[in-house]
Amino acid sequence: MSLVQLPMSDPGSPDLTSPRRFLRWLGRSQRRGRVLAVLWGVLHMGGQAAIPLFVGRGIQAAIDGDRSAVLAAGAGAFVLGAVQAAAATMLHRQTVWNWITAACQIRQLVARQASRLGAGLSDRIATGEVVAVSSGDVEKIGWFVEISARLWAAVAVWLGVSVVVLVRQPVLGLAVLLGVLVLAAAFWPLIGPFERRFDEQRSLGGKAGELAADTVAGLRVLRGIGGEELFLDRYREASQKVRAAAVRTARVWALMRAQQVLLPGAFVVGVTWYGAHLVVRGDLGVGDLVAVYGATAFLAGPLRVLGEAAHAWTAARVSAARAVRVLRLERASGTAAPAAPAESLPADRAARSDLHDPATGLTAPAGLLTAVVCGDPDAAGALAERLGGHAPRGRAAEGAPEAAAAGTAAGTADDADGGTGAAGGAVGAGTPAAPPAPSPPSARLGGVALDALPLAEARALVLVHDKEPVLLSGTLADLFAVPASGRVAPADALAAARADDVLDALVDGAPDAQGDPMRARITERGRSLSGGQRQRLALARSLVADPPVLVLDEPTSAVDAHTESRIADGLREVRKGRTTVVLATSPLLLDRADRVVLLQDGRVAATGTHRELMHTDPRYRSVVTREETADLQEETA
């Protein structure tokens, strides 16, 4: 029962057919912990239910004047109290362990999924949704895992108490057995309304979180243009919707809580009244009445557990649907590599191999710096992902995430038990599912399809430098602690990225670094730095990794022309002899490339050097120099 085992070495392969089956899989993966919790729960609740029996015997023995029986009943009650206290401690420890383990397991699954999908994750689901799953939804599911063991223990003890009372007093026992079932059924009509209202609250909360994250990320820009008040009003409106939805949810939950108090109380009063009537008639002793009253009053506890479990189940089912939606993205998009890769591609062979994209006809020769000019930024981003071997399947060659997202958004919260397939199912009532977009062929490195390689191997061979890279918080040394060949030192990479002013800014802002920029801390997402400074640090990190193939998507879009020219020289020097693909339209970068390729309408339209294409191809000149369309048409004519 030690938490030292966390995080797990392998969180497992969950059943993503439906939220219900996902919860069942989670329960099976913690079978031992749940069984132990049930055993401790039975001891705890069983001792609590048996104490009134000894108290009743003691009272009856006192009435009869039997001193030894009084002492025996007292000793029995003391032993049961000690057992109950010890079992309660162990039950709490075990249930909390189950909760934490379940939460950690789900977080590891989400983190593993985010790692597999990479930058493509944010293209198909909002970042706020992923954060909400890893925080609030994880807690709701962990709560259900924790209480489910107590529920089974409560059911077992309720059956035992009912049997004992049924043997001693058949009429009272039958009332206890059936009365609890009726009270339990009273919770059922409220579960559906509570689930719908909680689902609405959860959905609105995710949207509000997404809006808050976007606002914080762009706070500097908003302040520059005076737009913070506009976004504040939007967030205030979104938060008020969440508040109203939470109030509607709380109303149903308050009614369920009232049932947990009122109905068991009325049940205990009724059973006690009937028992008192039997005492007056002489059919039941006073001690037996006390025992029956104590056992009946104890049953209010299992009923409260039952109501709490109904609440936990509803919340967990909604949260599990959200988690399944995130974890199912890989299934829906088909980004996973085949279980049995066709062959392996050593790094030395990859460094000597050409990179080819069949969808566009683009070929990047080994060891050269190839620049790709594409007028459509979305198409350029899709090409960069495809060259990395992990572009989402179902996305068109020119890049349109809507087609891939349509299949994954379907069948999320409403599939009860396999109602929708793993790939989505019906999009909505009366709306036929759109056919998936055709999958573009995989990029090939040295003749080997990248999506036929294990994902980790493909990423080690081809590194895609995203257009908007993320800098995690930590020291500069932590930023460069990435898997690398060792050929490029951090100092050389920083020099190539022309990050001297960035180092000075980090040292000035971190007195604790004692003049060493590698010890200076970077704030979350590098918000203390300008966009150009963040871009150069991210570029230096990619250069330190020194992969056999490096794909850069607009790596200098946020720097001035003079710095961009120096970066182009440094990039060419550091990547000498390595295969590098740069997607850009800047003449300063294009002029340093060994080879320039123009893409139009998703295919290679022209190939040559920058200066050759500038003189011979009006289409190329139109994209690079932003010439007017009329001038281009006149020149072409």
Domain boundaries, the chain: 3-115+125-327, 347-393+442-636
First vs last Cα of the chain: how many Å apart?
Answer: 80
Residue 569 has pLDDT above 80, yes or no: yes
CATH number belonging to the domain at 3-115+125-327, selected among 1.10.10.10, 1.20.1560.10, 3.40.718.10, 3.40.50.920: 1.20.1560.10
pLDDT in tens, 213-252: 666 666 555 565 666 677 778 888 888 888 888 888 888 8
Per-residue pLDDT band for 396 (boundaries 50, 70, 90) equals: very low
Single-letter amino acid code for the residue at 108: Q
Q: 298: closest CA among 271, 277, 275?
A: 271
Read off the DSSP letter of residue 614: H
Residue 17 has pLDDT above 50, yes or no: yes
pLDDT at 492: 94
Same fold, 3-115+125-327 and 347-393+442-636: no
Per-residue pLDDT band for 419 (boundaries 50, 70, 90) equals: very low
Question: Comparing 4 with 329, which gets the higher pLDDT?
Answer: 329
pLDDT in tens, 128-185: 677 778 777 888 888 888 888 888 988 888 788 777 777 776 776 677 667 767 766 7
Q: 495: closest CA among 547, 567, 560, 562?
A: 567
CATH tag, 347-393+442-636: 3.40.50.300
- What value does the mean pLDDT of the chain take? 79
Q: Are 201 and 193 spatial neighbours (Cβ–Cβ below 8 Å)?
A: no
pLDDT at 30: 84
pTM over 0.85: no
Per-residue pLDDT band for 332 (boundaries 50, 70, 90) equals: very low
Residue 634 has pLDDT above 70, yes or no: no
Comparing 275-279, 369-373, 450-454, the range with the smallest average pLDDT is 275-279
Q: Are 105 and 11 spatial neighbours (Cβ–Cβ below 8 Å)?
A: yes
**Element spanning 28, H or E:** helix 19-29
Q: What is the rounded distance in angstroms from the CA atom of residue 317 to the CA atom of residue 108?
A: 19
Comparing 232-236, 280-284, 448-452, 596-600, the range with the smallest average pLDDT is 280-284
3-state secondary structure of 550: strand
Residue range 605-631: mean pLDDT, rounded: 84
Residue 423 has pLDDT above 60, yes or no: no
pLDDT at 119: 63
Residue 575 has pLDDT above 90, yes or no: yes
pLDDT at 430: 39
Per-residue pLDDT band for 408 (boundaries 50, 70, 90) equals: very low
Residue 256 has pLDDT above 60, yes or no: yes
Instruction: Kindly give, in sequence order, each residue whose CB lies less than 8 Å from that of residue 118, ignoring residues fewer than 6 positions away.
Output: 388, 390, 459, 464
